[in-house]
Every structure is written in structure tokens, then in C-alpha cells.
Amino acid sequence: MTHTIKVLFRLFILIFYMRTSTSLDSLAVNQSIRDGQTLVSANGIFEIGFFSPGNSKGRYLGMWYKNLTPLTAVWVANRETPVHNNSGVLKLNENGVLVILSGANSNVWSSKISETVFVNNSINAQLLDTGNFVLKNGKDYILWQSFDYPCDTLLPGMKLGWNLVTGLNKIQSSWKSTDDPAKGEYSSGVDLRGYPQVVIMKGSAIKLRVGSWNGRSFTGYPTQPLKEKQIFEFVITDKEVYHRYEVVDRSMICVYRLSLTGNLQALCWTSHSSSRIVIYTDAEDSCDNYAMCGANSICNMDGNVPKCECLKSYVPKFPEQWNISYWSGGCVPKIELVCGNNNTSGFLRYKEMKLPDTSSSLYNKTMNLVECQRVCTKNCSCTGYANMDIRNGGSGCLLWFGDLVDMRVISQWGQDLFIKVPSSELDYISVDVPRSMKKRLVRITVGLITVGFLTCACIIIFIRKVAPRLYRRAPFQKRQVYSRLIKEDMDLPIFDFSILVKATYNFSSTNKLGEGGFGPVYKGTLVDGKEVAIKRHSKVSDQGLEEFKNEVVLIAKLQHRNLVKLLGCCIHREEMLLIYEYMPNKSLDYFIFDETRSKLLGWTHRSHIIAGIARGLLYLHQDSRLRIIHRDLKTSNILLDAHMIPKISDFGLARTFGGDQVEAKTKKMVGTYGYMPPEYAVHGRYSMKSDVFSFGVIILEIISGNKIKGFYDSENSLNLLGYAWRLWIENMPLELLDTHLFEMCISSEVIRSIHVGLLCVQQKPEDRPDMSSVILMLKGEKLLPQPKAPGFYSGKSSLEATSLSSNQMSLTIFEAR
């Protein structure tokens, strides 16, 4: 009897499974899959089923590549409405609509069908090998498809853009977090204004312009690194405007993902490995930020620092801001162009350019470049032109009107742009120059070229033959000596270079955390799974072996809760690397200067961070075995751990004091613009009070949410210190407070912190308190004297102030990040 019951039970389960299960890749009407079951495309490439991303407890219907690990969802159906248990069901219902049901058949999600469907046996939902999940009526007629509703990932063949007939806009949107696939704040799509272009948006504002299509690539996102593996196209018709790509190299899978931070990444897998690699990441430098330099200006990366230059015949709109590297005001024409019959304009050619924002442009597919120039010359509002398509010598015409925005130099992959300027600004030799003068100019030119050629030849010979020998001797021997000292005396682990290469995926750009004066910093994962931060020396850095040794010697001997911990180092041939504990919340400037992330730091967090930095400085100045002056204290050198505890980092420029020493002097000042006190910037004198000044600047930045470099009170010609001082003497200190903090702070604590900050940035070092007094002041355990005027409060930069010195000193200023 028991055996019979078991057989009947198994038969019931089999019948139930046959009624609810499906074929491998499709669902017929009234068929379904439950949580735990999946659909798999015909050739086993894609799989659809329920999953939980990251640490989420919600269940989502997602799609992924079946044989790749870890599971990486490329599409999510119910991204806004998770199923909160394992009761989820995907069903093709009796009305021919795909639905996700939860619990007692409550509808969580459904496919969108814009027409009434006559339901019959020919309707089915099928997962294709392309990754497109389609609902078909018959063999070929598609009622609905997942390709019309991208999430954060673009697959080969998926269209990004507009269906002009139905009005459907297919956009890519980031996840809200690694645990939540709901739409985040970043999106990517096609902007239809003017000549269509692809843009990445942060909310309703443009974050980055991928750019317009020039026949080979997007002008702001060169595809040359990937052209051997993929084919890109941009289509403009009366019915559609879209971008898509196809994979040529079948041995590689490549998708484009919009990351949580709004970066566009090409994620690829090879057929030989299931491990993911990132082979291209967009927005790696400041020039990629939309309109970084304002209007009529070109952004260029000078090493790792952005540099803005006005177009020729243009001048900065706000020169005083331009002089302190605050460029967003852009440039305006120096000489107004003359229109009409007296038109005396011409065109300057700029090479290797990312073309300007095309939202205010006109385009014509049939015009050539000569006709394009003629039209622009006659139109008074036209400011520039370029080829629409650069293939086969160029074709088509793009015309810009008004300001030219978001230009940058893109070496090798940019294109020619022609800017209209007054004829007086064109560089040429007049045809009226006498023949004898022309001959003299030719002879001078030939002579200069010859001398230049010989000089270059000598330099090349020196660099290739002599310099390597000189470099290999002393520096290499010096590195070997330092390596032995570290091993024998410092008791500090020495890491093998190959381990660090593997830990950072060969120093992949996606692992890059930031850039400092010493060089780039990468996130690494060691063999045991421990996450670390790896600082790698850059060959173009002003810092070198001495700073490397300095950091190792100093920080290895320091142990404090508010100092970053050095785990080890590596010296390998020309490579010098430092390995630190990993700080998941990056640096202080990452939070307080960002419009969105700053909201996460309430007053309680900020006051704790101020106190933590103060305790770390007190340890350096008084409580450690060595008396240490940091000399480069700034917000980007304050790292935050998982609990938002601040840790002072970057000791490459630090110096030690012995015995009763209170001050030292140098002829080479190093540090960061805005954080250096007057006595150091002007006379080269530094002491513990130098760090106190920098700490005061940081307090005012934390409270206001403004950068010392970027802030400018144009009404009173004041920088941040001057602005804070003016509010203090006018009895309005709370006006300095970050607007995000108004409803969440204790005003007396804020005013006390501002008071302490102003005491720390006073002009004379002897007027500033030491760090032990600062800590008591912040706790309210010490009476606060009235502050005196701060250093550099007039609004002039510290760089300008150094011109007051008669000393012959070399000055190294690092841009504040």
C-alpha cells in the first residue's frame, strides 16, 4: 500500500511538471516556469530565471550568459518590483501577455503590448541565442521583445535610440546599487536635438557626451581599440535613429555596461576563460566631464591634470577665475566678427578634436567640405564646421551656431574642426612681402630647421645611449640599498611584483581608485582574498625614490587608529609600489564635494571626521616616537574606512623633527595649492603650525562643502578663507554651512568648529593653536580666543603670494583633487 502511494505521488508530480514546464527555450500560452526553473536558448548561450543580486533578499527575473561565472545579469524584467520570497512565477497567460506572479497570483510585472492580440496556439515566448527574449504571434511577427527595454547592459544587436513611429526611446540605465537593479541616477541614450548624438545623463543633466557619429566612431568615444572585434553603426532614417554594434570575433563575448558611477565599460570574456576582463572604460579623466571648460574652450590633459585653453580669438569670460583654474565660465569672442558685405572672417583648423556638442548644429549629408565652408562664411551666426563623415576623404556637412561647448583633444582618433575667426587672427605671410624679405625668411627657416634637427639628433643619442647607463647605475644601486634596508631594518613585508600584477588584473583601469602626487592607486585582491590599495610610482611624477623611502620609513613605524596602515612594499627594477589597507569609502573629497554623496554625510559624521583627523595629527606631532610634519594634508589624503573613520595617508612629503626643534626651512616647497600656509609658501618655513593651517582649511571645507581651490566669492573677490572670515566678522557664521546640513546640525557645535577652523588658519603661525589645544577646543573644554585675519584671505592664490618673496626658491605645487 505504501509503495502504491509513492508511485501515485511520483506520477502526480510528473503530470504536474509536464503541465507547468516548458521546452528548453520557450513558453506556450498558459505555460510557466517557477523560481528554481530556467529557460535556456537553443544553443545554450543565454539563460533566464529568478536570481538575487549581491546581498539582496529580493528575487528578480533576469537573463545571463549561461556558461560564464560569476553570474552577471544582462537584463532584468521586474527591476523595480522584486518578489520577496521564492514564490515567483513567469507565465505566458491566456491573454498572450508575459507576467510575473508572486504569492497568491499577484501581478508583479507584465510585458507591454500596444495592440490587441488574437490569442491562439501560434503565440509563444522564446529566448533567442542573441539574448533577445521575444513574444511572437506566428513564426516571425514580434509583439514584444526585451531588446526594446535595455537595462544597464547593451548586448550585440540591441538598439540604443528612438523609434520615431511609435515614439519608443530605448535607453540604457544604471542599477541603483550592486544589490538593487532598479533604475539608478545614470542613463545613456540618443539626444535627437541637432545632429543626433549619444549622451550619458546624471538625472536630467548631461554627465558625459559620447558624441556624434563620424562614420568610423563616436567623436568622444573612439572605438579603434575594439574595431578588430566589433562592428559599430549609427543609423538615421525617417523611422529610426539608433546605435548598435555586432561582434566580429566569435571567440570573444563583449557587452557594454553603464556602471553605478555613470562610466561606460566594455566587459569581455574570451572563449578560453569564463573570467571577465574590462578592456575599455570611458570617462577616465576630467576632460570627459561635460563642458568641463565652459563654452568656446578646449580641454586637454597635461599629464594627469586637465588644462583649459580658449579658442584663438577668444578670451576668458572671467579672467580672475581662469587664473585660479576655475574654468566653467568659458570664453567669449575677443573681436566681434563683421557680417555682411564687409565680412573679413576666416577659419582656423583644429586637429584631433572631439567635436562640440551637436545639439545646436545643422547637418547635410550631401554637402562637401568646400560647400560647408561657404555656407558658414555667409551665415553670421555660424561659428564652425566639420565633416559629418570622415571616411574616404570626408563627406557631409556639420554646422555649429552660437557657443561651441564640450571640446577636447583626442590624440590619434579625433577629427578636424574648423573655427570661424576674424582674418586678423589668422597666421599667414602676406603676399605683399618683398621678394628679398621672403628669401631671407626662407634662409632663416632652413637654418633653424637644420640646427633643430642636429639638436634633436644629439638629444636622441643621449637618451638612447648615455642616459640609460647613468640611470641604471646610481638609481638602481640606490633602490637595491633601500630594498635591503627595508628587509633588514624595517620588518616590513616585501611583495613580489607578479603578485601585485595579478591582484590588480595587470593594473587595469577599472581597478584604478585615483591618482596622487606619487602616482596612480589601484584596488587589488590578494590570493587569500584580502583587499588592498596599491600605490604605483608614475614615471612622470615629481616624487621619486626619496619620497618612497620616506613614506616606508615613517609610516611603517606609526600605529594609530587615524593613520592609514602600510602593509608592505615592492621594489622591482624601475617599479616602486606601496601596499596599504583598502579603504572602501575612498577619500574625504569623494564625499563632501559631490552634490549627491555629500548628502550622506550629516553633521554627526562630519564632526567625527574632524575630531578623528585632529587625533591623528596630535599623534604625529606629539605622541609618536617621531615628531612628524605631514606637509601635504588635504581632503584627498584623508581616507575613510567602512565605518567612515578618517585615516591620514600619503607621507611621501613628510619630515621629522628631533629634540626641541620647532621649525625648519627649505628652498624647495612641496605641497598643494590652497592648503599651504603663508610662511611656507613665501619663505619656505615649515613647522607643526603648517599642518595646523592645513587642518583649518579642511575644517572649513568639511563645514561648507566647498573646495579651497574652486570656491570664489566674486562679489567680494574672496576665496573660501576670506569668505568664512567675512561671515565671521559680520556675525553670520552659519551662512558658511553646507545647505544639506541646516536641518540636521547643532548650531553651537557648528559655530565652535568654524571658530576653531579660523583660529587654525590665522596669518601668523604663533597665533595658531597646537593640536592638543585644538582637540580640547572642539570638545568645548577650552575657552576660544577671538581669531585674527586668515592667511591669503584677500582672495589671491598662494601661488601669487609667493611672488612677494625675494628668496630664490623652487616651488612644487600640486593641484588639489
The mean per-residue pLDDT over the stretch 151-166 comes to 95
More confident residue, 27 or 277: 27
Mean pLDDT, the chain, rounded, equals 82
Write out the three cell numbers for 412. 590619434
Could you identify the residue written with the cell 615613517?
A: 554
Predicted confidence (pLDDT) at residue 493 exceeds the cutoff of 50 = yes
Strand intervals (E) in 119-271 = 123-127, 133-137, 141-145, 153-154, 160-163, 168-170, 172-177, 180-191, 197-202, 205-212, 230-236, 240-247, 252-258, 264-270
Helix or strand run (H / E) with residue 9: helix 2-20
pLDDT band at 737; cut points 50, 70, 90: very high
Could you identify the residue written with the cell 560564464?
A: 68
What are the pLDDT digits (tens) for 241-253? 999 999 887 778 8
Q: What is the DSSP letter of 215?
A: S
The confidence score (pLDDT) of residue 194 equals 93
Could you identify the residue written with the cell 539608433?
A: 242
Helix or strand run (H / E) with residue 499: helix 497-503
Backbone φ and ψ for 543, nearest 5 degrees, come out as -90, 155
Give me the active site residues, please.
Answer: 632
Name which of 481-495, 552-566, 688-702, 717-731 the model is least confident about. Answer: 481-495
Alpha helices for 741-812 (secondary structure H): 747-760, 771-779, 798-801
CA distances for 630 relative to 666, 676, 686, angstroms:
14, 11, 10
What are the pLDDT digits (tens) for 5-18? 544 444 444 444 44
The dihedral region occupied by 395, where left means phi > 0, alpha psi between -120 and 50, and beta the remainder, is beta
Name which of 215-219, 280-284, 451-455 the model is least confident about. Answer: 280-284
Q: Work out the percent of the chain whose per-residue pLDDT is above 70.
A: 81
More confident residue, 732 or 651: 732
Predicted confidence (pLDDT) at residue 501 exceeds the cutoff of 60 = yes
The confidence score (pLDDT) of residue 509 equals 87
Euclidean distance between CA atoms 216 and 784, whole angstroms: 65
Radius of gyration of the chain (CA): 32
What are the pLDDT digits (tens) for 633-689? 999 999 999 899 999 998 878 888 876 677 888 867 777 878 999 888 888 888 999
Helix or strand run (H / E) with residue 399: strand 395-401
If you write DSSP's letter for every residue of 263-301 in order, what string do you get?
Answer: -EEEEEEETT--S-EEEEES--SGGGSTTTT-BTEEEEE
Q: What is the DSSP letter of 532?
A: E
- The three-class DSSP label of residue 747 is helix
The mean per-residue pLDDT over the stretch 24-35 comes to 93
Spell out the domains of the chain, with CATH numbers in brackets.
Answer: 21-148 (2.90.10.10), 150-284 (2.90.10), 287-425 (no CATH), 492-582 (3.30.200.20), 584-814 (1.10.510.10)
The confidence score (pLDDT) of residue 30 equals 92
The confidence score (pLDDT) of residue 473 equals 44
Nearest Cα to Cα of residue 400 among 424, 414, 415, 420: 420
* β-strand pairing of 531-536 with 575-581: antiparallel
What are the pLDDT digits (tens) for 523-561? 999 877 889 999 998 876 767 677 787 777 777 778 899
b/e sequence 510-530, b meaning 16+ C-beta within 10 Å: bbbbebbbbbbbbbbebeeee
Name which of 157-166, 283-292, 452-461, 784-793 the model is least confident about. Answer: 452-461
Write out the three cell numbers for 381. 551666426
Predicted confidence (pLDDT) at residue 814 exceeds the cutoff of 70 = no
Can you give the pTM of this predicted structure?
Answer: 0.53
pLDDT band at 342; cut points 50, 70, 90: low
Euclidean distance between CA atoms 633 and 610, whole angstroms: 13
More confident residue, 653 or 182: 182
The confidence score (pLDDT) of residue 645 equals 94
How far the first Cα of the chain sits from its last, in Å, is 79
The mean per-residue pLDDT over the stretch 291-309 comes to 86
Helix or strand run (H / E) with residue 551: helix 545-555
Write out the three cell numbers for 457. 639628433
Name which of 70-79, 98-107, 338-347 the model is least confident about. Answer: 338-347
Predicted confidence (pLDDT) at residue 114 exceeds the cutoff of 70 = no
The mean per-residue pLDDT over the stretch 751-764 comes to 96
Residue count of the chain: 817
